[in-house]
Structure 1
Amino acid sequence: MDSYEPEMLRTIYEDMSAKARPPYVAYVEDRMIPGPRGEIRVRIYRPDLAPSHPVIAYFHGSAFVICSVNTHDVLCRYLCLRANAVVVSVDYGLGPEDKFPAGPDDSLAAARWVAANASAFGGDPTQLIMAGDSAGATMATVTSMRIRDEGGPKVKAQLLIYPVTDYPDNAPPSYLERSQGCGMLTAEAMRWGWSHYLKDPADGSHPHASPNRATDLGSLPPAYVITAEYDILRDEGEVYARQLKEAGVDTTLIRYSDMNHGFMGMVGSLDRADEALAAACDWLATRL
């Protein structure tokens, strides 16, 4: 794949997203916030203008290379409405321009900014949630690890939607069983994403790239992990959920046996996605 392909794919996804019909949300604002390498774009969604809502830092899926706050606008709007929470969607650094660990570094900085400024946009900083899908779920759980290890703020819960949790140098069975991706995410595409994300394949063994390789998952926030049967990422996400449970973390794992990767992006138009989001939001409400 040549050097122009990431930009080409980004354009395709942005154009597709521009055709969507997003639900109404009371307040939406784009901001630039400080980050470790320069400014980071965030988009803030508020269900209403009342104070003290739970606040969700949301990290969009990307295969570490594509997508943005625009491509995940509809999902974040529905999450805002159904969780009755402020959602702050984060445009963390992507490869190949911003290779690992730029994404995790941006994500940590954004989460801390969200906690420090939540009350200014209707959020309660004591009710902070990390959430994301696919590679964004990697950012969510790695940010939770780093917050635990590097001095806060306190995170109440993690919502991890078909997360990327391991570098595929020893790919699990789902990589072979679902290698063609059922039209969504293929094994080749995921390896392509990793190749643009990492400076060196050896970085894939770092726990901030591959949470499955972390040696200590104790004392992490409660986690709700969603996987999909027809997804190459199914097995690694379920391994991560089991490892969280073994470490004593309050963890709920839900596999959607009739779905494939990316199905949550069809919320508002696919009943199964609506059901999955409602169940996740119900779980979040019990942890807040």
Structure 2
Amino acid sequence: MALDPVVEQLIDTLNEQGLRSFEQMSVAEVREVIESFSELQAPKADLARVVDTVYPGPDGDQAVRLYIPESDAPLPVVVYIHGGGWVAGSLDVTEQPCRALAADARVIVAAVSYRLAPEHKFPAAPEDAFAALNWVVDNVADFGGDATRVAIMGDSAGGNLAAVTALRARDTGSPALCAQVLVYPVIDGTARFPSWEENAEGYLITAAAIGWFWEQYLATLEDAENPYASPAKAKSLAGLPPTLMLVNEYEVTRDECLNYGRMLTEQGVPVQVELYSGLVHGVYWMTGAVPRSAELHSAVVEFLGKQFAR
């Protein structure tokens, strides 16, 4: 399918404004540009409470923000890990999508921060993410959450960290997860599927930019073979929770996402893969600029409703 007309117009506008590819920027510039995605978002939903607190990470406290809708009964919980290439992103830039998810899915969304590269290389981010999940499970009852109904979710590099965290939870035997939601995750540091060439340039995130983000994140080339960096390298994926995989047609990482979905299915994990024609990386954060981002949001809400009702 052709590129979505709204997305095409947005890309043209950004190009006219002189937006460079991420690998051509400094780390500070990358962080500034990714924070600006909040300008592409819809108005924020109202909720009963938003609580800012911290969880104890391996290298000190990290921020966590709880989005809590009104409810008389304990609510299911979604631990959300933001994207940004492991280099950028924040609780602020993802506040609107997290509020929308909490309001529409009737869940508590616990958005967690983590140490960023290149100041903190692998395995800092996955260590923080796993600590955050355990803190949420141990403490969410204090905020009206149901610790027996917890899902993990992330987008882009956050999708990578969500997949890794689900692996670690399986490997250690706890905490139990009801589901994982992977929104166009970056899943394999060694992958070079056809989409790397087909979508190498012209769709916001270039192949060179993906490679640059991996270079900032990994401490050594050998780290790309570690399943806690590249989940597709795990010897087994059996026993992972039911999975929703959202993938866009014009993604550098499209084919590695689809391949991971096939791997999960082959190893007995219930998987729902949604491939969105005409869309590009990052649209989950573009709720005000790209109307079809609502399709991804609706798929997440519907999937979580089914999993939490089981």
How high is the TM-score relative to the length of structure 2?
0.88
TM superposition shift of 1:211: 0.8
Work out whether residues 40 and 289 of structure 2, in 8 Å CA contact, stay in contact via their aligned partners in 1.
Answer: no
Matched, 1:245 2:265: yes
- Residues 181, 134 of structure 1: CA spacing in aligned structure 2 closer, same or farther, 3 A cutoff? farther
Matched, 1:145 2:145: no
TM superposition shift of 1:50: 3.4
1: distance between equivalents of 2:37 and 2:239? Answer: 40
If asked which structure has higher relative contact order (CA below 8 Å, sep 6+), I would say: 2
1:123 alignment counterpart: 145
1:153 maps to a residue whose letter is P
2: distance between equivalents of 1:158 and 1:19? Answer: 26
Aligned mate of 1:68, from 90, 101, 114: 90
Work out whether residues 162 and 261 of structure 1, in 8 Å CA contact, stay in contact via their aligned partners in 2.
Answer: yes
2: distance between equivalents of 1:186 and 1:72? Answer: 22
Farther-moved stretch of structure 1 (67-76 vs 127-136): 67-76
2:55 alignment counterpart: 33
Map 1:248-263 → 2, pairs under 5 A: 248-263=268-283
Q: CA RMSD in A?
A: 1.9
1:278 maps to a residue whose letter is S
Work out whether residues 23 and 208 of structure 2, in 8 Å CA contact, stay in contact via their aligned partners in 1.
Answer: no
Work out whether residues 36 and 105 of structure 1, in 8 Å CA contact, stay in contact via their aligned partners in 2.
Answer: yes
TM superposition shift of 1:268: 5.0
TM superposition shift of 1:120: 0.7
SS at match of 1:17: helix
2:34 alignment counterpart: 13
2:303 alignment counterpart: 283
Matched, 1:235 2:255: yes
TM superposition shift of 1:245: 0.3
TM superposition shift of 1:23: 2.2
TM superposition shift of 1:281: 1.2
1:192 alignment counterpart: 212
Deviations 1:44-76 (A, max 9, x none): 101125341110000001111111111111111
Matched, 1:156 2:159: no
TM superposition shift of 1:181: 4.5
1:45 maps to a residue whose letter is Y
- Residues 181, 120 of structure 1: CA spacing in aligned structure 2 closer, same or farther, 3 A cutoff? farther
2:195 maps to a residue whose letter is S
Provide structure 1 residue ranges, at least 5 long, that are not aligned to the other structure: none
Aligned mate of 1:54, from 76, 79, 82: 76
TM superposition shift of 1:216: 0.6
1: distance between equivalents of 2:152 and 2:269? Answer: 15
2:122 alignment counterpart: 100
Matched, 1:83 2:90: no
TM superposition shift of 1:284: 1.4
Work out whether residues 199 and 251 of structure 2, in 8 Å CA contact, stay in contact via their aligned partners in 1.
Answer: yes
TM superposition shift of 1:22: 2.0
SS at match of 1:149: helix
2:252 maps to a residue whose letter is I
TM superposition shift of 1:15: 4.6
Work out whether residues 92 and 107 of structure 1, in 8 Å CA contact, stay in contact via their aligned partners in 2.
Answer: yes
SS at match of 1:271: coil
Farther-moved stretch of structure 1 (24-33 vs 3-12): 3-12
Work out whether residues 29 and 43 of structure 1, in 8 Å CA contact, stay in contact via their aligned partners in 2.
Answer: yes
2: distance between equivalents of 1:230 and 1:15? Answer: 22
Matched, 1:180 2:196: no
Matched, 1:203 2:220: no
- Residues 281, 59 of structure 1: CA spacing in aligned structure 2 closer, same or farther, 3 A cutoff? same
TM superposition shift of 1:25: 2.1
TM superposition shift of 1:29: 1.7
Work out whether residues 247 and 274 of structure 2, in 8 Å CA contact, stay in contact via their aligned partners in 1.
Answer: yes
How many residue pairs were aligned?
Answer: 286
2: distance between equivalents of 1:3 and 1:187? Answer: 12
Matched, 1:222 2:226: no
2: distance between equivalents of 1:279 and 1:4? Answer: 34
Work out whether residues 181 and 231 of structure 1, in 8 Å CA contact, stay in contact via their aligned partners in 2.
Answer: no
1:114 alignment counterpart: 136
